[in-house]
Structure 1
């Protein structure tokens, strides 16, 4: 049994209680000690890929390749649904760095799409390769994900998609390309924790760029997943990812004694219920259990 499977029994029990399958990896950022379950299984990463988008933005900003105060306008044609600027009734003008803030804080799909266009979508696969993430596959951004879902159900627009999607049986939903790691942006839990560890060690780019990403991740507003498992004195910076039946989060827990632990949890529910607070809380419990194990090794 590898060390990455050492904590598997306890983690499996946590997820069995809420009826989900999960891939988990947790690693001590400074020592490399790790625990987890199925850390090398290819999984859909959904909005966790936005960490790469914001990292590339930060690297380009620090290198002087773009001005973070450059203005961008979010128009009706840009809106992709979800949180943030997508809910605005009128055009919104904001800076590139504010696009990065909305991308991380509320997982704004529209902001991420505009930011990706600005930094260059073709750059992200190169960034993943540079950082030693060979199984991290970036296949477009939020717009491409949405378009693939429209195509798969034969919808012409968001309104028609919403109507058709609500009537699909679970097996038809799970057949959409967005749920297939081979046909959408995907990675492994181990590679995502590697990405986070590189950012936290200032090895994913210039230190100022890594610090920018860490600060933005710490401003995420969602608290029911990884953060829910840790006491207030532990600082958790994270990024969520969500699709029907998929509950995802990756982040770093920083302890007052200096311990830093990168964690990635990918939970797949057996039922496609939209809101499962029990699954979210189980993710936090599992993250804490994995980190507790690392702190005892």
Structure 2
């Protein structure tokens, strides 16, 4: 695909900077018309921390293997304490082992961002297969690996005992030390760019990221995300949104595809750096939906 040039910096600034400034966040965005290649963006090629958006290529790797007949969607797997970190969602917060199908591991991973289900699926797929896939898809710096392996360097950097009470230990860590972590600096750790993420989504929606069967399965899985307070909130109920969100200390992200009843399809990725390290941030959540809507309106020619 050869996308058309993005708008001038002045146009992009007028579209998105007021939204981000009002929410008190730093924003990075890229949006693409999937069928025409027309695009718009704001700091679209700067590296960003992708957080749980890394789960999209994991789902694609699963779907490609299943479509090729090398992986049984109905095979049963057990999520155990070896996969759980605790404090998350889905099986990550379960007290006891949970057995489910390969397909349902992918469903829990995308619908509720279940980290333990992701690690179980990564063990089935193999880290090298997923790493090769993100390189093939033009996102070689996306973080690949089990969550526990990705977090071990964080605990080491903070001097935290991973086997102890994480919440109690984190409470004693100063905000400056957390903000200085390598995992939160996209220039020092695995990362992506907004344009890379919309390129990945475009390839999935155009059946170019693998067999059509695999791409269709990823699209269907992404349509079940439980969170509806970021990207989805920017659009009317008749507009279909399939998305994946992500969050870390001081980071809120969401990327997905917006599909209109008239057939228009738009890949959008919004990444925010927020003043608050954690907790609820309604202004930032709203900014993701507003910025995404402004981008899509611009691509549809509806912006005033």
Name the TM-score, length of structure 1 as normaliser. 0.95
Q: Deviations over 1:84-113 (max 9, x none)?
A: 001112111111111000000000000011
Detail structure 1 runs of 4+ shifted over 6 Å in the superposition: none
1:110 maps to 116
Q: Could you tell me whether the CA contact under 8 Å between 1:29 and 1:197 is conserved in 2? A: yes
Q: Deviations over 1:35-85 (max 9, x none)?
A: 110000011101000000000000000001111111111112221231000
**Shift of the alpha carbon at 1:272?**
1.8
Q: Does 1:88 align with 2:94?
A: yes
Of 71, 77, 92, the residue aligned with 2:82 is: 77
- Does 2:202 correspond to 1:197? yes
**How many angstroms apart in 1 are the aligned matches of 2:93 and 2:68?**
33
Question: Higher mean Cα deviation, 157-166 or 284-293?
Answer: 157-166
- d(CA) in 1 for partners of 2:105 and 2:190? 21
The CA deviation at 1:7 is: 2.6
| Root-mean-square deviation (Å) | 1.6
| Contiguous gaps of at least 5 residues in structure 2 | none
Structure 1 segment 100-179 matched on structure 2, within 5 A: 100-134=106-140, 136-157=141-162, 159-179=164-184
Of the three residues 7, 19, 28, the one matched with 1:3 is: 7
For residue 255 of structure 1, the aligned residue among 254, 260, 270 is 260
Moved more, 74-83 or 248-257: 74-83
Aligned to 1:227: 232
SS in 2 for 1:186: coil
Number of aligned residues: 296
Unaligned runs of 5+ in 1: none
Q: TM-score, normalised by structure 2?
A: 0.93
Query: Is the 8 Å Cα contact of residues 139 and 184 (structure 1) preserved in structure 2?
Result: no
Q: CA–CA distance in 1 between the matches of 2:77 and 2:6?
A: 48
- For 1:288, the equivalent position in structure 2 comes to 293
- Cα deviation for residue 131 of structure 1 reads 2.0
- Asked if 1:277 is matched to 2:282, the reply is yes
- How far residue 197 of structure 1 moved from its aligned partner, in angstroms, is 0.4
